[in-house]
Structure 1
Amino acid sequence: MSAGALDSALAEARYALASVRTTSPHSSALGDASALNGRSTLLTGIPAEVRAAYSHTVLGPLLQPRTSSTAVLLETLETFLGHDGSWARTAEALHLHVNTVHYRIGRIEHFTGRDLSSLRDRLDLWAALLCRTETVTPAG
């Protein structure tokens, strides 16, 4: 076995161990690097407390306190990002007028300090949404 292959095997073993420690003490959500095929599996190697801190930092007031209005904004953000930032498709999916989506996205931008026309900010918010769950499960 070459030195490069050993380094790769060691990296895979470390990642699997980190995954076990952050998901379940008895099973790993990620068996090897070949299963590392999306954002969700990438996040399994990050400790839960780091994911939670990131989520709270990026989403900020949208998470505290949890009210019906912040829940609506989170749903709008998830839908907007899930529809690649399309105002019309988001409005259709949520059964809203497009102006309502514009208003809600403006509120989200205000609360988070992020600009949803920026890809970098969209990625930060998407990662924060993925991190806000108790456990991160790999995409199937």
Structure 2
Amino acid sequence: MSGHVNDPHAHGHDGHHGHDDEHGDSGMHATFRGYMTGFILSVILTAIPFALVMGKVFDKSSTTAMVILALGAVQIVVHMIYFLHMDAKSEGGWNMLALIFTLVLVVITLTGSLWVMYHLNHNMMPGMITPGEARIAP
């Protein structure tokens, strides 16, 4: 009898509320240990850049900025894994695909914007136009 409560092939009536084990459940569940690990890693990854800046560890500010950006990227990954529970298997891989697509769009947008701003600044510098070029032809 199809659609019956005890029928294993009936969807939505088995008490799982649409979360079937066969559809890519990653097995990653929220645990106190997982949240504490994520929290401790986040605190460490926040304290290190703070200590680098306050202690003036690097002579050049560009080195400090690069280390802070790298640690920020690591912290994003920690948050995604321990708090958002994202991995290559979650939601059948769609979460990771959406993340990669978003990152590609952000990189294209930022790179394109910086490229346009650099070339506009370079091409619009005073002294680029010679006095003879500014005349309008009759």
TM-score bracket relative to the smaller structure? under 0.3
Structure ranking higher on relative contact order (CA contacts 8 Å, 6+ apart): 1
Q: Which of the pair has more CA radius of gyration?
A: 2
- TM-score, normalised relative to structure 1: 0.22
- TM-score, normalised relative to structure 2: 0.22
